[in-house]
Amino acid sequence: MLCLSLNGETIKDNLNMYFENIDLLDSVELRVDFLKHVDLEEIAEFLEKCRHPVILTCRREKDGGRYSNGEKSRLALLKKLLKLGFDYVDLEEDVKKGEIDTVAKDMSTRIIRSVHIFDEFPADLFARIQKTAANGEIPKFAIMLHSIKELHTIFNVKHELRSIKEKIILGMGSFGVPSRILYKLTGSFLTYCSPRGSEIAEGQLPLNTMKNLYSADEVDERTIIYGIIGNPVMHSASPEIHNPALKELKLNAVYVPFQVKNIRDFFIFAEKLGIRGFSVTVPHKQAVLPYLGKISREVKLIGSCNTVVKEKQLWKGINTDYYGFLKPIYNLLESNRIKKGLIIGAGGAARSVAWALRNHGCSIIIANRTVEKAKYLAAETGAKWASIDEIKKFTSIDLIVQTTNVGMYPEIDNDPIENYSFTGNEILYDLIYTPAKTKLMLRAEKAGAELISGKEMLISQGIYQFEAFTGHDFPYPGDTVIF
């Protein structure tokens, strides 16, 4: 079940939210702790109008909620509300058995016994789940995760405790996001989703995203899992490139973001979950190399891998940044419109760019804040090098490729080459895609230069990746990808 947490301050707001999302949800959680005033009549009316199962929740501040009027009055309130007839009530593990359980029983309301853990991962997780379930209650454990290893343990619950049919085990925070999307693979029968525009718990995704982007409720044992690893990774636009395409081809597959600090732990987890392929982003493009059984020619050359696919039991690394970068300029290189290129930056992205240009007959200059790094990459690729301050001395530049993160959201007022004056004959290719036009691009456009945005490379590398993952052609033209 996709369960929408209703966090309106009035019942009217909650009803509006409910009806707006009625086609997407399977159940709702009424968060009484968010209500400004609790009016029993209004809530009774809400229950009458609601055609889906409703969970009653009144969360205390210490568990991440908003209720602050003391425990005695909270329990008295819950008791009164229970008499209105809810399908489920969320009661915390430390709420002692008593009258409230009797009322729930009389009203045939199932108890979800919830535990919220924000500090250390519980060593006795499985035992605690079993103990709660043995009481005939539904165990709910929401645990703040700090690593992929902890996420792995969450996914072990399904297999280890398969006899417990009704349970909710989810990871909070960025590390926990896959457990919310792939909730059925953790053995959970329900996942909580937030209304559009508000995140109620850390890592909780909007209902619209869970249903329309990830089709979380359609994931089953046979679903093929792809993903992206990075740190941070939740800002990535890649799920919005891959998931709609998987859906278009009617493949039972999903593409999920995995926050990863430790690469080794991720490879162990990927084997366990049967992940078939994943994109790799900053800072792991070099770190994955020792774990690959096979690498492509480009990965060997560049020393960086942005795509890993399972091929005949082996992890194979390829680099679609290389081809994705070339795609928008390929014809311009072939026709000799681009003969001389200036690369700003000498980091991981610049390496793919330098090799791609060099291998297509373009002479290059690499300019970087840290000159030593420019020198090093230039020596490898047979390029010239310079400091950022020196680039004004170079003339007749056909292509400038901006590979640093200077000018990227939120620091959009920065320009990495303030001292460079555009002649208007250049093509500026800025690898940044947020904002769509950087300060540098606006300056180049004003001078009459041609622009290529980072979004084009992002989509092109994603399309090559999709084809490597699935073996299918990307189902629609790249310029129709929306994110």
Give me the least distance between CB of 384 and ligand ATR, in Å please.
16
> For the residues of 55-87, what is the DSSP string, one character each?
EEE--BGGGTS-B-S-HHHHHHHHHHHHTT--S
Nearest to ligand ATR of 161, 228 (CB atom): 228
369 in contact with ligand ATR (CB under 6 A): yes
Residue 345 found at the interface with ligand ATR (CB under 6 A): yes
Please count the CA atoms within 13 angstroms of the CA of 350 that sit on its side-chain side. 28
109 lines the binding site for ligand ATR (CB under 6 A): no
Considering the candidates 158, 167, 184, 285, report the single residue annotated as catalytic: 285
Instruction: State the nearest-atom distance from the C-beta of 326 to ligand ATR, in Å.
Output: 17
Nearer to ligand ATR, 314 or 379 (CB): 379
| Span of 61-69, 126-134, 289-297, 344-352 interacting with ligand ATR by CB under 6 A | 344-352
Taking CB under 6 A as the binding criterion, the range among 135-143, 148-156, 368-376, 432-440 that sits at the site for ligand ATR is 368-376
Using rule CB under 6 A, residue 227 touches ligand ATR: no
Q: Which of residues 279-318 bind ligand ATR (CB under 6 A)?
A: 282
Helical (H) or strand (E) element with 460: helix 454-470
Q: Which two tokens stand for residue 284?
A: 């792991």
The CB-side HSE value for 329 (13 A sphere, CA atoms) comes to: 34
**Shortest Cβ distance from residue 401 to ligand ATR (Å)?**
11
Cβ neighbours of residue 172 closer than 8 Å, sequence gap 6 or more: 118, 142, 143, 144, 145, 201, 202, 203, 204
| 110 vs 129: CA distance, rounded Å | 16
**Per rule CB under 6 A, is residue 346 in the interface with ligand ATR?**
yes
Phi, psi of 257 (to 5 degrees): -80, 130
Q: Choose between 1 and 371: whose C-beta lies nearer to ligand ATR.
A: 371
Maximum Cα–Cα distance across the chain: 84
The answer to whether residue 405 forms part of the interface with ligand ATR (CB under 6 A) is yes
Please state the closest distance from residue 141 (CB atom) to ligand ATR, in A.
37
- Among 150, 175, 185, which residue's Cα sits nearest to residue 260? 175
Residues in the interface with ligand ATR (CB under 6 A) total: 16
Instruction: State in angstroms the smallest separation of the CB of 305 from ligand ATR.
Output: 12
Q: Which is nearer to ligand ATR, 73 or 370 (CB)?
A: 370
Contact indicator for 177, 148 with CB cutoff of 8 Å = no
Burial (CB < 10 A; 0-12, 13-18, 19+), residue 163, is exposed
249 sits near ligand ATR (criterion: CB under 6 A):
no
Give the distance from CA 446 to its chain's centroid: 35
406 binds ligand ATR (CB under 6 A): yes
Q: Which 371-390 residues touch ligand ATR, going by CB under 6 A?
A: 373
Contact 423, 437 (CB under 8 A): no
Q: Contact 228/243 with Cβ under 8 angstroms? A: no
324 lies in the binding site for ligand ATR (CB under 6 A): no
Q: Is 368 in the site for ligand ATR (CB under 6 A)?
A: yes
Q: Are 30 and 37 in contact (CB under 8 A)?
A: no
Verify binding: residue 350, ligand ATR, rule CB under 6 A: yes
Nearer to ligand ATR, 339 or 384 (CB): 384
Contact 170, 188 (CB under 8 A): yes
Residue among 341 and 345 whose Cβ is closer to ligand ATR: 345
Question: Which residue number places its CB atom closest to ligand ATR?
Answer: 347
Candidates 140-148, 177-185, 226-234, 367-375; binding stretch for ligand ATR (CB under 6 A): 367-375
Q: Is 149 a catalytic residue?
A: no
Cβ distance to ligand ATR smaller for residue 95 or 302: 302
Radius of gyration, alpha carbons of the chain: 26
Chain residues that interact with ligand ATR, rule: CB under 6 A: 282, 345-350, 368-370, 373, 403-406, 416
Q: Which residues are catalytic?
A: 285
